[in-house]
């Protein structure tokens, strides 16, 4: 190890913020585990790019995503969690205490680690898509579909998630325009059949999104049919991107078991990973639900699992 690197030992390190990390911090701080939490590249996680959150219990009027994450952070701090800016850039889980490098410069050694690094939505990479993100562009139909009741919306994607979200939107929106890049979907046969049998879902095969149109909010989407080389503009109020998520798990891949998509595998019914004393919660290990409330619940599980682990370890010592 380089001599110029700072070192610090902590009892419990939480990597990542968002509902999972902050909830883990609240529970573990109340259990007197003196957790240190590094917020990562996006303090507050995916909710900080969400505008209105209406489906989190306890906020009857709804709340802005960034404001909700400030509330979570304040609560964790009030309980005694040490919340810090910084990004975990590498880890060494080969021996205890575990070593985690922050911002490529500081080494933290920890008796137990909770990973709550989340997942990032994949985007098409259009400038207009990023400009209108939160103003009609969304990567979560379950979160934001409700705001477009009775309106025309578009969704891009061809897998099971895209099919599920198109069906979800079809129940509340007047028409759903589903944009599929190839001449077929990747979704399972049963999901494809459901989509094709739903009268208010229109599928656009061989189609690529060229631009999302609108000055301050989504007004239309411009498509190119690659088979016919024809352009078409469809008036819509929202544009949902459902081309997948990328779990933020790369730095752990040498030590932790990941599934084929890169999600951290946990023992069912727990937050335990294949490395003793390393726990994972939230979207980095959940590709099914991916909601703020489920992430918070799994953060609670991780804190309780870590507390039991550290307590048992102390009794053995």
Active site amino acids: 140, 143-144
Per the CB < 8 A criterion, the answer to whether 260 and 97 are in contact is no
| Cα-based distances in Å from 313 to 24, 72, 105, 303, 306 | 19, 29, 29, 15, 10
């Amino acid at each position: 190890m380089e001599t110029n690197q700072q070192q610090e030992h902590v009892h419990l390190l939480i990597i990542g913020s968002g509902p999972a990390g902050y909830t883990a911090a609240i529970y573990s701080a109340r259990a007197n585990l003196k957790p240190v939490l590094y917020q990562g590249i996006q303090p507050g996680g995916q909710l900080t790019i969400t505008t209105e959150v209406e489906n989190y219990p306890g906020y009857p009027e709804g709340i802005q995503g960034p404001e909700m994450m400030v509330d979570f952070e304040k609560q964790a701090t009030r309980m005694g969690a040490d919340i810090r800016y910084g990004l975990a850039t590498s880890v060494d889980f080969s021996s205890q205490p575990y070593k985690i490098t922050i911002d490529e410069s500081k080494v933290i050694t920890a008796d137990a680690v909770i990973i709550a690094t989340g997942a990032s939505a994949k985007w098409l990479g259009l400038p207009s898509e990023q400009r209108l993100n939160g103003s009609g562009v969304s990567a979560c139909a379950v979160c934001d579909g409700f705001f477009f009741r009775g309106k025309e919306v578009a969704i891009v994607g061809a897998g099971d998630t895209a099919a599920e979200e198109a069906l979800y939107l079809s129940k509340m929106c007047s028409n759903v325009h589903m944009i599929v890049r190839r001449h077929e979907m990747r979704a399972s046969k049963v999901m494809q059949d459901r989509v094709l049998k739903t009268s208010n879902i229109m599928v656009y095969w061989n189609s690529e999104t060229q631009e999302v149109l609108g000055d301050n909010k989504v007004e239309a989407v411009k498509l190119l049919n690659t088979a016919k080389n024809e352009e078409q503009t469809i008036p819509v109020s929202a544009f949902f991107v459902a081309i997948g998520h990328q779990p933020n798990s790369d730095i752990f891949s040498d030590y932790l078991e990941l599934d084929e998509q890169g999600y951290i595998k946990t023992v069912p019914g727990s937050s335990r990973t294949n490395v003793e004393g390393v726990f994972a919660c939230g979207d980095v290990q959940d590709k099914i639900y991916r909601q703020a409330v489920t992430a918070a619940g799994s953060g609670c599980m991780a804190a309780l699992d870590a507390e039991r682990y550290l307590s048992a370890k102390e009794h053995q010592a």
